[in-house]
Structure 1
Amino acid sequence: MIAREYVRKWINRDPIRFNSLHGDMLSARVGMTLEQYVWRAIRVSVVAGILFGILGYFVSFILTYHILTTAGGIYNVLNFQLPVLFNVIYPFEYIQVSSILLSFFIGGYIAYILMLKLPAIEKGNRAIKINITLHNAVAYMYAMRRGGAQLMVIFRCLSDRADIYGEVALEFRQIVRDADFFGYDVVTAIRHLTETTPSEKFKLFLDDLLSVIESGGDMADFLSIRVQIYQEEAKFEQKQFLNVLSLVAEAYVTLFVAGPLFLIIIMVVMGMVGGSATLQLALITYAVMPIGSLIFILLIDLISIKGEKTERFTKVKWLHTFTDVRICKKENEQYQFDQLKKYDRVRNIVHNIRHPLESFVNNVNTTFYVTIPVAALYLLLIFTNVPHYRNIETYINVVDDHIVIAILIVLIPYAIFYELWSRKVLGIQELIPDFLERMAGINQVGLTVAQAIGIMVNTNLGLLSYEIRRIKRDMDWGANFTEALMRFEQRISTPAIARTVTLITKASEMSGQIGEVLSIASSDAKMSEVLKKERLNEMFIYTAIVYLSFFVFLGVVAVMTTQFLPVLTHVAPKGVPMSGALSGVGSIQIDVFGRLLYHACLVEAIFSGLIAGQMGESSISAGVKHSCILLIIALITFNFFVVTHTPA
């Protein structure tokens, strides 16, 4: 394409200009050449410019319409003689054209700059993810090294565990690629990775690893020390994160609890003195508060120190032990396989029907299959039976409470079963360090890990005891130790347990004596639990602040609804002067103001609860229960203690 050829020549004409962008692209693993990315940035900027141009047209149209219909503009005090172009010949058409062109260039420039900055942002995100899971990956490398594995074998096995170790495994995959496809030796491949990795912490680790390799030092001792150092660094990172999170929490309370409350009071006063504040109050309620809260949720999610999501892939095995035996393929076998798949689906459905609570706890998203149809049916019954009021405000006041009830029908079961699942998983994770310590002690006296499981069946480890018995039962029924642990991981399905299981299974495959590896895994799990408890304790105060700020918000709005708005309804318009501050009292839409204030409390309840869960437990799902509690409080307050409307 001719345009891409011009882009290539433009880049070659000044290659130094794009050096930083090329480096960011390599670190972000963008997967395209420099000229391809610049060409994409140009296309995106053109599309963004067109969208901004359309927006500029509407904005200029509104402004010019306002100037035409009102006495707007800047008064020419100095009596400057303006050109005829601005006085006679279509001035507003020129303004609109200028606005469109200016908006096009501004939007295109902003989009182009953002596209050029995007690899740097992705580079920073990858660096954070690498730092989070680095100590887990180093522990995995230590387990394999203790078993006698060579360095390239360790890198290859770790690169295959991207589903468990995330971005760290993808970085080691670069070493495997350079060795397999480009013919690099291990040292050269590692040195090449140090030049492109986005994480300074990981780069220092690779530099130290190169020093150990070139000096012939003990690799196992080096990895063991590194695991302990990174565990200590994780505590410092946690403290820094909590300080930043506390600042974000205070900013949210100031901007989106106290700020909207202040604006709401101003809007009501403006309505009292005759200003048309209904539209502004509606924008605050339905746009500013939700969008601002969503931005804060995304901000907290970006800065949060959270584990990588993990998943286990099931491999299909090809049974070809007897390769010399001739295989006779029969016709119509596909139908039988389809029947088996259909049977598996029906069996799962039947199991979920027979044990609904178990299926809801194991996968809380399945609650939506029941609650959403129930909520939809409830709303259908409401809408078909509600009277047809002539006043739209009366109709909204009758229906909105039932919409809130429908939302609660969907959210309350989800919150309950998520809490049950969370308590179950947290209870098991708290016992993992003790479980690993006992296994390490049993293994150090000479028994294998499989024998250690048989001994620990009789120990009392709370919720984990049931899972240990299931692991022992799987082994009794013919599964090996690795398969039994993987089934345990699938039942719990959390990143911490997935990494622990992967570490134990790999260490047991490399050597029978893994007591030291289990001790390191135990200290790592214990450190993770300590950090989690510290965060919960630190963030509990901010969760309480969110609740208190919502109660203040609800109290002020309730007082305004019960004490202020009813007074305005009894003010006789004929007793008010036709001019002055109170000239518009008679035209105030009291019902509209009451409805908007009520909806503001509902919006505040939903998003305050979600942010409380995001701050306290690093999960929006954990905030659903807070949203339900605050919604119920707002619903009861406005329907049983605050009289906001009377259907007629």
Structure 2
Amino acid sequence: MSSNPFETDKASRVRQAFQAESIGAASNALFGPWIDKNGKYFDDLKEDLNHADMDVLFRTYISKMLFYSFGGFIAGFLGSLTYVLSMDTGLFESLRYLFGIPFAVSLMIFGMLYLYPSQRARKRQKSIEENLPFALNHLAAIATSGIPPSSMFELLSNFDEYGGISEEAEKITRRVNTFGEDLTTALREVADRSPNDDWSDVLYGILSTVQTGGSMEEFLDQKAEEALFDYKMQREKEIERLSTYASFYTAILIAAPVFLVTILSVMNLLGGQVMGFAIRDLMWMGVHVLIPGLNIVFILFLGLKVN
């Protein structure tokens, strides 16, 4: 038996990992103690996990992220070793394969798992933002009947067309009806974990109204008007932006190519070359390579800007 406590602890963690019944348990056994000491370096990821509403503990997710990254390194190393042994490669190239590829695979897995919660949080945030004005109008209409706030959220959770708002309402309802929490606690917990600040403000406002005994109908009517006004302003800005993109597209990807093809056609009749290329070859490259390529780039640009 080793007299070094650190080595004993490390061996014990490895045994626990092999005896674990799930990847999460194995990951926690291997990397959990290190995360307990260095978790502060992943505070931004912890916030993303809360906003993404992922059903996983912070410690477990980081452990699995490191576990999969280490597994990717091992798999990349074994694959590179098989390739090096089967091919006649030099020393430098063999080392590049044996260490470069495993490191790249490990880094790619780590990066994908690190960014996934933030991407999911942004998707939830966008869904809540797009449905907020309409959901608030619905809540305001429900409030006119005078039913309790907890029942308001229960009714709202039945409408799937409100996307992220329906999911948030369902979480509040589950906390109250299933877990037995009081409404104020449920509202506060859901508001703290929401990726959308406007929705959080609404929940805190409802919480304040419930505690002070204010008019729920007046509060929701005001919030619904504000949200609808902001929604209309954002849509107008998006239309103006898309109009600008359309003008650029017309000028650069419609008018300019037509003008260029016309000029090249006339030059082709006259003969000659441009920078050592035949006019016919330049026309072929422009029509079959340049113009389709620019259109693809523009479509990708629109996808990033609009979505």
Q: Same fold (TM over 0.5)?
A: yes
Task: Say whether residues 1:45 and 2:69 are aligned partners.
Answer: yes
CA contact (8 A) 2:271 2:279 kept: no
CA distance in 2 between partners of 1:198 and 1:566 (Å): 63
Check 1:11–1:611 CA distance in 2 against 1; reply closer, same or farther (3 A cut): closer
Query: Secondary structure of 2:271's partner?
Result: helix
Aligned equivalent of 2:148, options 147, 150, 155: 150
Task: Give the root-mean-square deviation of aligned CA atoms.
Answer: 4.0
Q: Is the 8 A contact 1:539 1:615 kept in 2?
A: no
Q: Deviations over 1:15-55 (max 9, x none)?
A: 44445433321220222333443344235535765898899
Q: 1:24 to 1:151 in 2, by over 3 A?
A: same
**TM superposition shift of 1:120:** 2.3
Change (3 A) 1:608 1:94: closer
CA offset at residue 219 of structure 1? 0.8
Match 1:598 to one of 275, 278, 287: 287
Q: Choose which of 235, 250, 253 in structure 2 pairs with 1:547.
A: 250
Q: Secondary structure at the match of 1:556?
A: helix
Indicate which of 168, 171, 193 corresponds to 1:174: 171
The superposition leaves residues 309-364 of structure 1 with CA deviations (integer Å, 9 ceiling, x where unpaired) of: xxxxxxxxxxxxxxxxxxxxxxxxxxxxxxxxxxxxxxxxxxxxxxxxxxxxxxxx
1:560 to 237, 240, 264: 264
* Aligned residues of 2:135 and 2:165 also touching (Cα < 8 A): yes
In structure 2, the residue matched to 1:24 is 48
Please give the alpha-carbon distance, in whole angstroms, between the structure 1 residues aligned to 2:95 and 2:279: 42
Aligned equivalent of 1:325: none
CA–CA distance in structure 1, aligned partners of residues 285 and 164 of structure 2: 47
User: Is the 1:11–1:18 contact (alpha carbons within 8 Å) kept by the matching residues of 2?
Assistant: no
Distance 1:109 1:209, change over 3 A: same
Query: Mapping of 1:335-346 within 5 angstroms?
Result: none
Q: Aligned ranges for residues 143-292 of structure 1 at < 5 Å?
A: 143-161=141-159, 163-238=160-235, 242=238
2 CA distance for matches of 1:615 and 1:112?
Answer: 23
Unmatched tracts of structure 1, length 5 or more: 58-89, 243-534, 570-581, 620-648
Change in 2 beyond 3 A, CA 1:45/1:568: farther
Residues 593 and 46 (structure 1 numbering): CA distance in 2 closer, same or farther, change over 3 Å? farther
Aligned length: 276
TM-score by length of 1: 0.37
More helix by share: 2
Distance in 2 between the 1:187 and 1:30 partners?
23
- Deviations for 1:372-413, whole angstroms, at most 9, x for unmatched residues? xxxxxxxxxxxxxxxxxxxxxxxxxxxxxxxxxxxxxxxxxx
C-alpha deviation, 1:589, in angstroms: 7.8
Query: How much does 1:552 deviate?
Result: 0.7
Spell out the pairing of 1:471-490 with structure 2 (5 A cutoff). none
How far is 1:605 from its partner?
Answer: 8.0
Contact 2:268–2:279, Cα closer than 8 Å, also in 1 = no
SS of residue in 1 equivalent to 2:199: helix
Higher Rg: 1
Distance in 1 between the 2:174 and 2:80 partners? 49
Alpha-carbon offset, residue 186 of structure 1: 0.8
Shift of 1:544: 3.1
Aligned pair in 2 of structure 1 residues 613, 237: CA closer, same or farther (>3 Å)? closer
Are positions 1:128 and 2:126 aligned together? Answer: yes
Q: Is the 8 A contact 2:124 2:164 kept in 1?
A: yes
Question: What amino acid is aligned across from residue 248 of structure 2 in structure 1?
Answer: I
Separation in 2, partners of 1:234, 1:55: 52
| Aligned CA distance change for structure 1 residues 50 and 154 (closer, same or farther; 3 Å) | same
> SS of the counterpart of 1:543?
helix
- Counterpart of 1:144 in 2: which secondary structure? helix
Q: Which amino acid aligns with 1:10?
A: W
Instruction: Judge conservation of contact 1:565–1:590 (CA < 8 Å) in 2.
Output: no
Higher relative contact order (CA 8 A, sep 6+): 1
Q: 1:539 to 1:120 in 2, by over 3 A?
A: closer
Contact 1:546–1:612 (CA<8 Å) still a contact in 2?
no
Counterpart Cα distance in 1 of 2:180 and 2:220 = 26
Q: 1:11 to 1:51 in 2, by over 3 A?
A: closer
CA distance in structure 1 between the aligned counterparts of 2:287 and 2:72, rounded to whole angstroms: 38
| Structure 1 residue 115: Cα displacement | 1.7
Contact 2:268 2:280 in 1 (8 A): no
Are the counterparts in 2 of residues 28 and 126 from structure 1 also a CA contact under 8 Å?
yes
* Distance change (3 Å), C-alpha of 1:100 and 1:541: same
Q: 1:42–1:229: structure 2 CA closer, same or farther, 3 Å change rule?
A: same
Q: Is the 8 A contact 2:35 2:63 kept in 1?
A: no
Task: Tell me how far 1:555 sits from its aligned partner.
Answer: 2.4
- Relative to structure 1, the CA distance from residue 538 to residue 194 in structure 2 (aligned partners, 3 Å threshold; closer, same or farther) is closer
Letter in 2 for 1:141: L
What is the SS of the residue equivalent to 1:198?
A: coil
Change (3 A) 1:231 1:56: farther
Contact conserved, 2:80 with 2:101, CA < 8 A, in 1?
Answer: yes
Give the match's secondary structure for 1:149. Answer: coil
Q: Distance in 2 between matches of 1:614 and 1:216?
A: 46
Q: Which of 103, 115, 131 is the aligned partner of 1:117?
A: 115
> Sequence identity of aligned pairs in percent?
17
Is residue 28–residue 122 contact of structure 1 (8 Å, CA) maintained in 2?
yes
The C-alpha deviation readout for 1:178-206, integer Å capped at 9, x for no partner, is 11222101111111112211111111111
Q: Which amino acid aligns with 2:228?
A: Q
TM-score (norm 2): 0.73
Contact 1:543-1:612 at 8 Å conserved across structures: no
Cα pair distance change 1:604/1:206, threshold 3 Å: same
| Matched residue type, 1:172 | A
Write the letter of the residue equivalent to 1:213. V
